[in-house]
Amino acid sequence: MHDRPLILGIHGLANKPPKEEKQAWWAEAIREGLRRNLGEDPRDLSFDFVYWADLRYDAPLSEDSNREPYYPARGRGPFPSADGVCAPTLTDRLYRIVEWAQEKTGRLVLDDFIIEHRLDDLWGYYEDAAFRESARNRLREALEQHAGRPLLLAAHSMGSLIAYDVLRQLERDGRCPRIEHFVTLGAPLGLAEIKHRLAEEHGALRVPYAVARWSNLGDREDVATVGTTLAEAYAPNATGVGVIDRPVLNTYRRPRGSVNHHKSYGYLRTPEFSEAVAAFLDREEAVASVEMSDARSA
């Protein structure tokens, strides 16, 4: 069982419910997407979860204060898909102009504002070295625990930054885990300041050597995904693996009806993510089929 393909998730910004609850909600959102988009319902989904909110917050988010819980979406049938074209939005175009101006002046004023006031945990990640290292260690420990297993690493929001940092660090240390599919969801990796900080620590921006495939899923209305596409910003690795940017529609709604285009549950239910999971799990079925055939032959 220890060589079965595993989906490993890592959460993003802001405080979260207790780990067990958050992990169960991620798994159920993945299953809901598979049921509605593909008609599949894996009962024993191999899933593990990297939780770091307790490193930054004194207590988990209580049920009474959680404005964005997981709950099954209304309706039936597949969730909507984007048109497949990753064209820049008006916001992207405006941001690129500002990014050019920031580069010319050497002052990342807009990025500082976005990160400090809209993506606060990102600010803390760079200002608090102890927190940063502890968050990275959580993912390192999970990768070590599951060493040798085929992995789909699903990283939401700031989790994508932690994952990128860890994968680049591990390759420098000579420890390069195999990531069959790296799926980033609502990743802020296109923001100018994030790119600058990553380049300062890791050198030229590129796909980590450990990654056999990288799909970047982003709703174009999600403020965290503003800026360049990741395929523009991150070069292919030495084996030619590049980033595949896939626009999606994050349809998550809060219980009172307002939308959140950045919410993890919405990303985990998209047809594009369901397709990635199903393709990854097909490997497990193929391995099981071979093992059964070998057992019969014996």
Q: 147: how many CB neighbours lie within 10 A of its CB? A: 12
**R_g over Cα of the chain:** 19
Q: Rounded to whole angstroms, how far apart are CA atoms 187 and 158? A: 7
Q: Rounded to whole angstroms, how far apart are CA atoms 94 and 63? A: 38
Q: Rounded to whole angstroms, how far apart are CA atoms 266 and 253? A: 8
The pLDDT, as a whole number, for residue 187 is 95
Total-model pTM: 0.87
User: Residue 253 phi/psi, 5° resolution?
Assistant: -125, 140
Domain 6-56+80-293 of CATH type 3.30.300.30: no
Name residues of the chain where pLDDT drops below 70: 1-2, 84-120, 284-298
Structure tokens at 182: 């790296």
The pLDDT, as a whole number, for residue 250 is 95
Helices (H), the chain: 19-38, 90-105, 109-117, 120-127, 129-145, 158-172, 192-202, 230-233, 264-268, 271-297
Q: What angle do CA 95, 100, 105 make, to 5 degrees?
A: 120
pLDDT digits (tens, 9 = 90+) for 133-155: 999 999 999 999 999 999 999 99
